[in-house]
Amino acid sequence: MKVMIVDDHFVVRSGLVASLELEDDITVVAEAERGEEAPALLASAKPEVILMDLQLPGWNGIETTERLLELDPAARVLVFSTFARDDEIQSSLDAGALGFLQKTASRDDLIAALRRVAAGERSLAPEIATRLAGLKLGPAITLREREILSLIAKGRANKEIAAALGIAEDTVKRHISNVLQKLDVSDRAQATAEAIRRGIIRVES
């Protein structure tokens, strides 16, 4: 099994490489510390599974997963995160990840999850699957909507957003209307606050 690790912490990546390669049939073929590095590595290293952290500088793990699936719809992603917030788990799965595992999991659980995802199977801890089944999180925020939310958070007007993304201003307005409905809020300020609260966007300090 060829694995690519996307995690911004060198020590975490090093530990994962050492642990995973104790298995005779697992090889780490690529490492990325930023999401922006992942598409080129996916194309060159052709991993069978991508082990994806959520908290990354630049593109977060959800956005990186979406972009990798756009590049290769057959890509198989296992999100490996410190946290397990319901909305982040659901957003990861909506983005195309096949599994979600917390970093507190045992090595055996990690290996088992990687094998399931490599086989194209969904991998969720039973307690996470039970929690998600009881939730009504609403429609997922798309990649374009996340881009627009990020620009709104920076104080950009609709005309500026349209210019930055190369789309019509009417298209921006339509996306914003959809976002307000999906987040169940009434204005841009509330949308920004709710998107930050849910981890959909992150405001750089």
173 is a domain residue: yes
β-strand 27-32 against 49-52: which pairing, if any?
Answer: unpaired
Tell me, yes or no, whether 124 and 153 share the same domain: no
Q: Check whether residue 83 and residue 121 sit in a common domain.
A: yes
Residues 103 and 14 in one domain: yes
Both 169 and 77 in one domain: the answer is no
Shared domain check, 159 and 126? no
- Local confidence band at 87 (pLDDT 50, 70, 90 cut-offs): confident
| 99-108 average pLDDT score | 93
Structure tokens at 66: 């979406």
In whole angstroms, give the CA distance from residue 172 to residue 130. Answer: 37
For residue 45, give the amino acid letter.
A
Strand 27-32 relative to strand 2-6: parallel, antiparallel, unpaired? Answer: parallel
Check residue 19 and give its pLDDT. Answer: 96
Are both 25 and 102 inside the same structural domain?
yes
Confidence of residue 84 (pLDDT cuts 50, 70, 90): confident
Could you tell me which residue, 57 or 36, shows the higher pLDDT?
Answer: 36
Domain CATH number, residue 180: 1.10.10.10
Strand ranges (E), 74-189: 77-81, 99-102, 123-124
**Which of 98, 115, 133 lies at the terminal end of a domain, its last residue?**
133
Picking from 49, 42, 50, the residue whose alpha carbon sits closest to that of residue 6 is 50
Range of the domain at 90: 2-133
Whether 83 is in a domain gets the answer: yes
Q: Which of 133, 157, 178 is the last residue of a domain?
A: 133
Indicate whether 204 belongs to any domain: no
In a domain, 203, yes or no: no
159 and 191 in a common domain: yes
CA distance 139 to 121: 23
CB-hemisphere CA count at 13 Å for 19? 14
